[in-house]
Structure 1
């Protein structure tokens, strides 16, 4: 499984990466902003994208449609340090939204549970 972590706090991203790589056959790539996420998608082809909303260049919620275009099979999980509904910064409602600090068991469940991340129509 390939997991793209889009997180501008490198310490948080590395901690999440280490926790997820406990599982066998997991490759993780960390990027720190929206532009890098969009560039990484076509080449890395992630199965799951952990997307922070508070990115330095563009809000994570504003790039979800582009990520879905560049990585059409990836499940996107919003992983943010604040309530995604605050300040009108709302990601599409069909995404799983987890508030940091997230319990590892909850994160693990959402990353590795098949079919979770984007609702199937």
Structure 2
């Protein structure tokens, strides 16, 4: 089944580069592009893509506002933001409004198609380097909601912070993949998170408190 992708960036050269990379995969179909956030929302309504690859810094309607509007739609697509190391605040804001992951613009071309395909399955698409920058600082107190979690749920949270898939978590914890899926869903509800990426950002507190 082909994954339908919308590309959003205010630089036409970036759009063309991304289109070239992604259309090389027979599993991906770049159905449209947009050069600002307002146009991105219109294109989502018009074409109903599976994944939106969203730039953050754009004039007028930026990527955060566009992501928020897209995620409020019925049956919204997954939104993966693209960023550089100097946009931590915008990345946090995008994740808070429902982006399911982020990629650095320096992501190797050979990895990009694989990551977009992963995003289409609902998996978190995380850059390990920036995940470390965005996770809760070691000195921050443990979220009381996390402190009340059973040990098994904490292990799930730690694994999500490592970027593991449901299948990998199931193998590590000797559970069925269906059980892991259910536990992740329950964690989202308990911790008031919209997706796996938001859960992953909460995991650092578990790491730090477990190692004290």
Q: How many residues are aligned here?
A: 121
CA contact (8 A) 1:84 1:90 kept: no
Q: What is the RMSD of the two structures over their aligned residues, measured on CA atoms?
A: 2.5
CA contact (8 A) 1:75 1:116 kept: no
Taking the TM superposition and a 5 Å limit, the aligned residue runs for 1:75-114 are 75-86=78-89, 90-93=93-96, 95-113=100-118, 114=121
After TM superposition, give the deviation of residue 105 of structure 1 in Å: 3.1
The C-alpha deviation readout for 1:53-109, integer Å capped at 9, x for no partner, is: 011112211221211123634111101245431478731256311121221233222
Give me the whole-angstrom Cα distance separating, in 1, the residues matched to 2:91 and 2:78.
Answer: 23
More deviation in 79-88 or 96-105?
A: 79-88
Higher relative contact order, structure no. (Cα contacts within 8 Å, ≥ 6 residues apart): 1
5+ residue gaps, structure 2, are 125-193, 200-212
5+ residue gaps, structure 1, are none
Give me the whole-angstrom Cα distance separating, in 1, the residues matched to 2:18 and 2:64.
Answer: 20
More strand by share: 1
Taking the TM superposition and a 5 Å limit, the aligned residue runs for 1:22-101 are 22-24=24-26, 26-70=29-73, 72-86=75-89, 90-93=93-96, 95-101=100-106
CA contact (8 A) 2:36 2:62 kept: no
- Going from structure 1 to structure 2, the CA distance change for 1:24 and 1:84 (only over 3 Å counts) comes to same
CA contact (8 A) 1:54 1:60 kept: yes
Give me the whole-angstrom Cα distance separating, in 2, the residues matched to 1:24 and 1:34.
Answer: 27
Q: Output the TM-score relative to the length of structure 2.
A: 0.50
What residue is the counterpart of 1:116 in the other structure?
123
Q: Output the TM-score relative to the length of structure 1.
A: 0.83
After TM superposition, give the deviation of residue 51 of structure 1 in Å: 0.4
More helix by share: 2
Give me the whole-angstrom Cα distance separating, in 1, the residues matched to 2:40 and 2:106.
Answer: 22
- Going from structure 1 to structure 2, the CA distance change for 1:83 and 1:72 (only over 3 Å counts) comes to farther
